[in-house]
Amino acid sequence: MSNPTDVVVVGAGPAGLAAAATLGRHGARVTVVDEQQRPGGQIYRQPPTGHTRTGRRTEAGRALLAEAAAAPHLDWLPDTVAWGVFGTRAGLDDYAGPAPAPGRLRLGVHTPDGGRTLEPAALVLTAGAYDLPVPFPGWTLPGVLTAGGVQTFLKAQGLLPGRRFVLAGGHPLLLVVAAQLVAAGAHVVEVAFSQHLRTLLPGPRDLAAAVGNAAKLAEGAAALRHLRRARVPVRFGTVIRAAHGDPELDGVVLSRVDAAGLPVPGTERTVACDVLALGYGFVPSTELARQAGCAVAWRPAEGGWIVDHDDWMRTSVPGISVAGELTGVAGAEQAEVEGRLAAYGTLQTLGLLDADRAAALARPVRRILARRRRFAAAVLSRFAPDPAALNALVTDDTVLCRCEEVTAGDIRRALCDHPHLGTANAVKLLTRAGMGLCQGRSCQPAVCRLIAEQTGRSPEQIGAFTAQPPVKPVPLASLAAAARQHDDQG
């Protein structure tokens, strides 16, 4: 199959847009694959086609979106799932069907028109991150959403998904979302922040790291001021314990936590609400990179498993680079910078940029990146949730795997009955946790924390669920049609 694409960029958030625009500007033919209709990713999500904002508001990421829209040699595949990378481990031959040309990767995609393959010389994976799912009794009730989900309803869809909101968790995004909800006229009943305020106040080292990153800190501080002014209670050292309602959410139980982050008995109180937004931070979307065979590392402060890379964002698999949250959760600005760096690295691989010129172009980018990384290490890492505190929210009856309805008790019992088991994959096979439609995205962190607590094994020993193709569900008919396509050509 002749294919005019040099590089496929998977993801159209800040990292993907920056990579694609930079690649296109330097003469690479680029295809951008994204699951959404319009570029921007979660952070720069634009309203649907035909919708416009009522207020005069500057769209976040406008400059980057404009840069990508104007860049030459860019082909967009929206509404498309990139579901598998083939030929990266063993190197495939053509005995079983047409093999990719030498030096090319094969990427399976599912578009609105069906299944096909792309065969680029390089891939830049920028799949971003998603809200860390944090199980507790009642978290599966309709009305319980992630903070990111509530924000997307509000900012991209213009929907207040309820009337009375409680926000709970441990990530600064909570404050930002709460302020946005208040500005949109919602009743925010309470913001419950799991950390104690004193642990969040910046120290001298953090302030040094914040140089050049003031905007980010200011955003959180401004949100807090708005909430105070609107008399929204923001309570620190307070956690969600349970969500109630039948059949849908009508209230939550909050309680105080001690210095170790563990709930203090007797401090429980019930708060009525119809939406609970949870914000505990983010998990990098490493599935496609892991499925392709890219080496990963365990970095709890950066979101869990992240993809290993070199100075040019190249992974352990030749031809595959990464940028953005899957190298460690650090926000849009860092993602954008990493996207440019990944582009410069890929351009060298393609022979479109010589080493000296690439180094020169990368220099200012690297300076910004160093600053961002200092900030991320010093400030963002203090919001990383504590595994023991998260485990304390889980009761035996708490569902961990929503798709297959596997409870924490089911997993504890399985580990007791089979004491020789202790990996994420083994527990998945035994209990079905992670075997559902979401492919383990919603339960993996909690399942692995529970295995660690129960067996004393390290996260590295426990591992992650193996990332299997298709990394997002793809209709059987789409795969079958792809088989006939190849037959026709063969």
Q: Least distance from C-beta 87 to other proteins, angstroms?
A: 8
Give the whole-angstrom CA distance, residue 472 versus residue 324: 20
Show contacts with other proteins in window 274-333 (CB under 8 A): 274, 285
Q: Which of 25, 114, 160, 219 binds other proteins (CB under 8 A)?
A: 160
Q: Which of 4, 55, 102, 456 binds other proteins (CB under 8 A)?
A: 55
Closer to other proteins by CB, 199 or 461: give it: 461
Count CA within 13 A, CB hemisphere, residue 486: 16
Q: Which of 52, 102, 356, 488 binds other proteins (CB under 8 A)?
A: 52
Q: Least distance from C-beta 412 to other proteins, angstroms?
A: 16
Closer to other proteins by CB, 57 or 198: give it: 57
C-alpha distances (whole Å) from 440 to each of 203, 241, 266, 308, 472 are 37, 23, 34, 21, 11
C-alpha distances (whole Å) from 128 to each of 179, 388, 393, 438 are 24, 26, 27, 16
Q: Least distance from C-beta 128 to other proteins, angstroms?
A: 9
Q: Least distance from C-beta 97 to other proteins, angstroms?
A: 4
Candidates 32-40, 340-348, 385-393, 448-456: pick the segment binding other proteins (CB under 8 A): 32-40
The vertex-283 CA angle with 158 and 236, nearest 5°, equals 75
Q: Which of 6, 67, 131, 410 binds other proteins (CB under 8 A)?
A: 131
Closer to other proteins by CB, 422 or 459: give it: 422
Closer to other proteins by CB, 247 or 266: give it: 247
Q: Least distance from C-beta 74 to other proteins, angstroms?
A: 22
Closer to other proteins by CB, 412 or 432: give it: 432
Show contacts with other proteins in window 80-119 (CB under 8 A): 84, 86-90, 92, 96-97, 106, 108, 115, 117
Give the whole-angstrom CA distance, residue 386 versus residue 156: 31
| Paired tokens of 285 | 């979307």
Closer to other proteins by CB, 180 or 381: give it: 180
Q: Least distance from C-beta 177 to other proteins, angstroms?
A: 12
Q: Which of 187, 226, 382, 412 binds other proteins (CB under 8 A)?
A: 187
Show contacts with other proteins in window 380-439 (CB under 8 A): 402-405, 417-418, 420-423, 425-426, 429-430, 432, 435-439
Give the whole-angstrom CA distance, residue 275 versus residue 252: 9
SS3 433: coil
Nearest C-alpha neighbor of 30 from the set 148, 150, 155, 124: 124
On whether the CB atoms of residues 186 and 178 are closer than 8 A, the answer is no
| Paired tokens of 418 | 């089979």
Candidates 134-142, 254-262, 308-316, 367-375: pick the segment binding other proteins (CB under 8 A): 134-142
Q: Least distance from C-beta 2 to other proteins, angstroms?
A: 17
Torsion sign, CA atoms 175, 181, 183, 188 = negative
Residue 441, interface with other proteins (CB under 8 A)? Answer: yes
Closer to other proteins by CB, 40 or 263: give it: 40
Residue 215, interface with other proteins (CB under 8 A)? Answer: no
Count of residues that interact with other proteins, criterion CB under 8 A: 98
SS3 273: coil
- 27-46 in b/e form (b: 16+ CB < 10 A) is ebbbbbbbbbebbbbbbbbb
For residue 418, how many other CB atoms are within 10 A of its CB?
A: 13
The CA-based diameter of the chain, rounded to the nearest angstrom, is 71
C-alpha distances (whole Å) from 74 to each of 19, 26, 291, 351, 462 are 11, 11, 26, 18, 41
| Paired tokens of 32 | 């951008």
Binding mask 136-155 for other proteins (x = CB under 8 A): ----xxxxxxx-xxx-xxx-
Q: Least distance from C-beta 11 to other proteins, angstroms?
A: 12
Closer to other proteins by CB, 170 or 345: give it: 170
Give the whole-angstrom CA distance, residue 196 versus residue 239: 11
On whether the CB atoms of residues 253 and 244 are closer than 8 A, the answer is yes
**Rg of the chain (C-alpha set):** 23
Closer to other proteins by CB, 2 or 54: give it: 54
Q: Which of 137, 161, 263, 385 binds other proteins (CB under 8 A)?
A: 161
Q: Least distance from C-beta 439 to other proteins, angstroms?
A: 6
The count of residues in the chain is 490
Closer to other proteins by CB, 372 or 441: give it: 441
Candidates 191-199, 334-342, 383-391, 468-476: pick the segment binding other proteins (CB under 8 A): 468-476
Residue 453, interface with other proteins (CB under 8 A)? Answer: no
Closer to other proteins by CB, 133 or 345: give it: 133
